[in-house]
Amino acid sequence: MTDKANPPPPLTAQLCYSIYSAGIAIQRAYKPFLDELGLTYPQYLVLNILWAQDEQTVGSIANSLALESSTLTPLLKRLEVAGLLHRTRSKENERQVVVALTDEGRALQRKAGCLSDALLSASAHSPHDLALLNRDIRNLRDAIYANIEGWSAPV
């Protein structure tokens, strides 16, 4: 519990809010490009995971995104209806669902390459500066996860 004698600092002074609102700003910068692709930001994240390594279990994708499998399932269903992936039961373990890209889902990767350029343009930062910031935020994330029992950092 917090001590009522010490109220929390204003949101603008809180690191968690700065990271949260920066994430929203990035999603807004990406939105016009994602709209052209017919994707939401969470769908784009799932496709990125599959573009890096196709044919993954729902659990593996959920772990990579720090989500619950039940949260991910409706999103995967929409991507399947859109023809970008398909889901099948694992032959080794029928309780697991394997997600794989379709040809259309693979082809979308080439069209999605512009998102990094959108962030570079909107941020007015150099690729080097953004890479350093990304490293520092990942290190912060990993340090926090290391101190939270029952959770591990997404890959």
The pair phi, psi for residue 14, each rounded to 5°, is: -100, 125
Model confidence over 30-85: pLDDT tens digits?
999 999 999 999 999 999 999 999 999 999 999 999 988 889 999 999 999 999 99
Domain architecture of the chain: domains with CATH: 10-38+112-148 (no CATH), 40-105 (1.10.10.10)
User: How far is the CA of 106 from the CAs of 48, 86, 99, 123, in angstroms?
Assistant: 10, 12, 13, 28
Angle of CA points 54, 60, 63, to nearest 5°: 130
Instruction: State the pTM of this model.
Output: 0.86
Model confidence over 98-152: pLDDT tens digits?
999 999 999 999 888 778 888 899 999 999 999 999 999 999 999 999 999 888 8
